[in-house]
Amino acid sequence: MKFTFFEEPDLEFAGGGTHIDIRFGITRYGPLDLGDLRAPAQLRVGLVGTDETIAAIRQWFEHCKPGIARKESKLVNLFPEFPGFSVDTSFRSSLVFHDRWCSSIRQREIDAVLTHSDGDETVRQSVAMFVDHAEELIQQGGPMVLVCVPPHDLLAAVDERRGGPTDTDEQEIDEGSEALDPHQPPTISFHDLLKAEGMRLPVPLQMVRPKTYKGLQPRKKGKKTLSVPLQDEATRAWNIHTALYYKAGGIPWRLLRDAAELTTCFVGISFYRSLDRTRLLTSVAQVFNERGEGVIVKGAQAQLDKDDKTPYLPQSDAHALLKKAIQVYRQEHKTTPARIVIHKTSRVTPDEAIGFEAAAQEHSIDTVELLTVRRSLTRLYREGTYPPLRGTFVELQGASGLLYLKGSVNFFETYPGMYVPRPLEFTTFRAETPLERLAREMLSLSKLNWNNTQFDGGEPITVRAARRVGDILKCIPEGGKVQPTFRFFM
Amino acid sequence: MTGQKGINLIERIVLDMESHWTPSGANEVGIDGYIELFDAATRKPLGLTLAAQSKVVSALSADSSPTFDYWCDPADVEYWLAGSMPVILVVSSPGSAEGYWVSVKDYFKDWTPASPTTITFTKSEQRFMKDSFRDLLKIAAPKPGLYLAPPRKNERLHSNLLRVDGFPEQIFFADTECRWPSDVWALLRKSHRDPDAGWVLKGKRFISFHDLSEEPWTAVCEQGTVEGFPTTDWSESPDPDRQHLFVQLLNQALRAQLSPNVRYWSREECFAMVGKAQKIPYQSLKRRSKISAVSQFSSTAKDGRVFEWRRHMAFRAQFRLFDAQWCLEITPTYRFTRDGFELERFHEERLKGIKQLEGNRAVLSCVLFWADYLRPKHNLFTTDRPPIRFGDLLSFESAVGITDEQWLSDDPEFGKEAERQRDSLFLPDLEDLFNS
């Protein structure tokens, strides 16, 4: 077994500027597409909410415009300041609002939904209410992104059913590990259904909770409601503005690529269960390039392996899925990569491998590498207070490796996670590239999460996207519109 | 001469930091030299420089008080504050190779010519040494965002993979009429011996490390059908079905081996200590220590009812094969019971609660405990060897590391959390374990 440590990879920003950190990179150099005609220099924002929530969020965006001071902490690299969002500051872009692009939901509409429906029906009706308002608004044209700001009373009714948030870095990746609990009632996520229904609109949606612009989350303790402070304001400002920039068509950063390397596409292949939690699993592919531009393609239903019950695709379906994914990618980005790396969240079968390789061949792509990626129970421990460093890699045997993506971060001088970090374990089914290089790529790909400007993501985007995409796709009925680009899913 | 010794001390320490020292010219009064900071890990210059002035005093070490005062010439102070480059003053006593430093611009931030020029040094906080690099960096690059590679520091990382050093030489197969495990247990219990779980029933074949031609297995197996095969036919086989069966057999053998003090609980899919509150000694990294394997708790509700429960150390086990080396992957967990055996009603909540507490050290100490518990003991009173013999945890040497104390000094909350875990989980003090 071989032990290696990978240094934090660089990202590229405007003017060829590089930095390992997203926030310092944007602050110092500006977003990657700065000056590009397609960069959203005037970011037109539509708003759907109550009069109160619309006013509150506009006020907060105005407050963020000149910048937000950093959190008081000695961890200066973990909590940087927000430089502001205007044509004169780092992003060189400003948010543009207009009363024409605001659609107010009346309190009586909300009351009607809350009093006359129950459970999942409340979720459906609430989402329909928001999407109908959004549709009216967008008919006139204008906004590049639609921000939905539901009020607290509505969220309390729809969120209650789902239970507390879980740390996504702790969640299992592979579908086979999910136990099917027939007694758990189906619950629809307001956020996921909103995104699913919103697919019929031509621009992406962004949902913003009151905690983001108010900074406090109400939490019930018995009969009392307490306010629990959340992320510091600068971090919240960073995350929301960067997400809006990306959704409006901007490219804030990309992976630094070596010109000598082949242009590569990274494909995540995963499966998701239907809403009613029966055993039906549908396949989906997420294709990303190093600019983090992603396309999503739905595939056929999976079969379940009779022995270990992991999902897999028959050869023809595997072939069809990857072929379609590459086609959609070409349509969107007008280019074909020279190399494809597939990250599959369940075991690769020989049939699948043949199907994937045939699809790549049809597009004249010679290099196809197949990996299984999952969260491991194998761990490493330091003789100290802090867990192992992000970038720690152990080659377990010729075809598999253990990689810490979550871990202590030297740049932050701390471990910013919740529990003892769980590394990823990946196994190559077929690969020409050495294991170490595949691991380094995964480390880079963990920095392409547009929802989080803290770069130490716990999963490569291929895998992280899988969960998000699956959660939303399962809310889309058969035959419903599926937007091909990842901007609509994040 | 003495002055030069002071400068030499600065140079020596700067070189220890793997940065550069350039003495100033003879005409430059007030500054003795320049420290150019380099990233020790990559040897690249950081483009950051500080000026340094050395002053020598006769005997710092004779004075045992924690602080000392140094009076500066006001002209010097005025000179140091004039430029934009950060300046440090190093007061040393070359006879004892001690030096203490201060950032002049920070100390005299609001200085005016009428202000005093005496600096009070706190010896414990201001010793000039290799580790001062980090603080020099903060002075020279006050804006955040500078990235340094992790320091080159040899560290050992321990895995939770326990090496399997040996198993019995033979695996035995026999035909059986039994169709279900319950049939097997029913037959075994009739024989009045204490049967163990070290067997697998697959189809109508009975498989075990035990010699099936002996009691009590004769009750279950059709005699005349017993066959023994070298274990290596399974342990070294690349065939996935054989490996799968071998893992099943290892799991069963482990259950038998650990029983009765550690039982396998199929619902929680873990092995757990049973019984009453107990501390168990174990060999940790450098010395023997004790851990609370089973802890007793009680709480009183508002209505006066008293609830008692026990926390049992437990682990999930997975046999894995890496390049022909079998290992047992140990994932520590806990089991909460009301009586030493049956699950307590709040088991799930308590488990979630404890997972939220656990950090690197807490989990490592649990892994070390189980590794020691599973290893064969030298027992004078018995020659029984456990069927599966475990060795050491696999570990790795890393050339880069973390200086925990430095990080904790900026993030004390993290350290306090680690201490809270140690106290609430009744863990041994790990400082003792790592420093012999």
Q: Over the stretch A57-83, which tens digit does the pLDDT of each residue have?
A: 999 999 999 999 999 998 999 999 999
Q: What is the pLDDT of residues B269-318, one digit of tens each?
A: 999 999 889 998 888 777 888 888 999 988 888 888 888 889 999 999 99
CA B69, distance to chain mean position in Å, is 42
CB-based burial of residue B208 (10 Å sphere; 0-12 exposed, 13-18 middle, 19+ buried)? buried
Map tokens 């022909």 to a residue.
Answer: B324
Radius of gyration of chain A (CA): 22
Measured distance CA(A391)–CA(B7) in Å, rounded:
40
B223 pLDDT band, cuts 50/70/90, is: confident
Report the DSSP beta bridge partners of residue B44. B39
Name chain A contacts of B408, Cβ cutoff 8 Å: 385
**What's the pLDDT score for residue A479?**
81
**A6-15, B331-340, B368-377, B413-422: range with highest mean pLDDT:** A6-15
At position A183, the amino acid (one-letter code) is: H
Nearest Cα neighbor of A368 from A412, A415, A424, A431 is A431
pLDDT at residue B376 is higher than 90: no
Q: Could A410 and B358 be called an inter-chain contact, meaning their C-beta atoms sit closer than 8 Å?
A: no
pLDDT, mean of residues B33-61: 88
**What's the pLDDT score for residue B53?**
93
Measured distance CA(B300)–CA(A199) in Å, rounded:
54
**What's the pLDDT score for residue B433?**
43
CB A284 within 8 A of CB A269: yes
pLDDT at residue B319 is higher than 90: yes
CB A448 within 8 A of CB A432: no
Average pLDDT over chain B, rounded to an integer: 87
| Half-sphere exposure in the Cβ direction for A280 (13 Å, CA) | 10
Which residues between 271 and 310 in chain B have a beta carbon less than 8 angstroms from any beta carbon of chain A?
A: 285
Q: Could A379 and B398 be called an inter-chain contact, meaning their C-beta atoms sit closer than 8 Å?
A: no
Q: How many Å lie between the alpha carbon of A287 and the closest alpha carbon of chain B?
A: 31
Nearest Cα neighbor of A457 from A124, A22, A7, A75 is A22
Q: Which two tokens stand for residue A37?
A: 């005609």
Name chain B contacts of A418, Cβ cutoff 8 Å: 356
Name the residue of chain B whose CA is nearest to A76's CA: B144
Name chain A contacts of B142, Cβ cutoff 8 Å: none
Q: What is the pLDDT of residues A362-404, one digit of tens each?
A: 999 989 999 999 999 999 999 988 999 999 999 998 899 999 9
Name A353's Cβ contacts closer than 8 Å, sequence gap at least 6: A370, A429, A430
C-beta atoms surrounding A335 within 10 Å: 10
What is the ipTM, given to two decimal places? 0.87
Q: How many Å lie between the alpha carbon of B358 and the closest alpha carbon of chain A?
A: 6
A429 pLDDT band, cuts 50/70/90, is: very high
Q: Tell me the percentage of chain A whose pLDDT exceeds 70.
A: 91
C-beta atoms surrounding B350 within 10 Å: 17
DSSP string, B30-94: S--EEEEEEETTTTEEEEEEEEEEEEE-S-STT--SSEEEEEPPHHHHHHHHHSSS-EEEEEEET
What count of CB pairs under 8 Å joins A to B?
128
Chain A residues with CB under 8 Å of a chain B CB are 1, 3, 5, 7-8, 19-21, 24, 27-28, 74-77, 80, 377-389, 392, 394, 396-398, 408, 410-411, 413-415, 418-420
Q: A212: part of which helix (H) or strand (E)?
A: helix A210-214
Q: Tell me the percentage of chain A whose pLDDT exceeds 90.
A: 62
pLDDT, mean of residues B134-149: 86
pLDDT at residue A183 is higher than 60: no
Q: What is the pLDDT of residues A294-330, one digit of tens each?
A: 889 888 888 888 777 788 899 999 999 999 989 988 8
**What's the pLDDT score for residue A124?**
92
Q: Tell me the percentage of chain B whose pLDDT exceeds 70.
A: 92
Nearest to A420 among B320, B359, B408 (CB): B359
CB B387 within 8 A of CB B257: yes
Name chain B contacts of A385, Cβ cutoff 8 Å: 359-361, 404, 408, 414-415, 418
Name B207's Cβ contacts closer than 8 Å, sequence gap at least 6: B171, B172, B173, B199, B200, B201, B245, B249
Measured distance CA(B308)–CA(B191) in Å, rounded:
39
pLDDT, mean of residues B428-433: 48
Q: Name the residue with higher pLDDT: A342 or B340.
A: A342
Nearest Cα neighbor of A93 from A58, A147, A45 is A45
pLDDT, mean of residues A423-447: 94
Q: Name the residue with higher pLDDT: A269 or A220.
A: A269
B194 pLDDT band, cuts 50/70/90, is: confident
Q: Could A382 and B360 be called an inter-chain contact, meaning their C-beta atoms sit closer than 8 Å?
A: yes
pLDDT at residue A357 is higher than 70: yes
**What's the pLDDT score for residue B426?**
58
**What's the pLDDT score for residue B144?**
84
The length of chain B is 436
**What's the pLDDT score for residue A328?**
87
Global pTM value = 0.88
Q: Name the residue with higher pLDDT: B380 or A396.
A: A396
Average pLDDT over chain A, rounded to an integer: 88
CB A409 within 8 A of CB A446: no
**What's the pLDDT score for residue A219?**
61
Measured distance CA(A23)–CA(A454) in Å, rounded:
8
Measured distance CA(B291)–CA(B130) in Å, rounded:
37
A166 pLDDT band, cuts 50/70/90, is: very low
A198 pLDDT band, cuts 50/70/90, is: very high
pLDDT, mean of residues A9-14: 95
**What's the pLDDT score for residue A226?**
56
Q: B389: part of which helix (H) or strand (E)?
A: strand B389-400
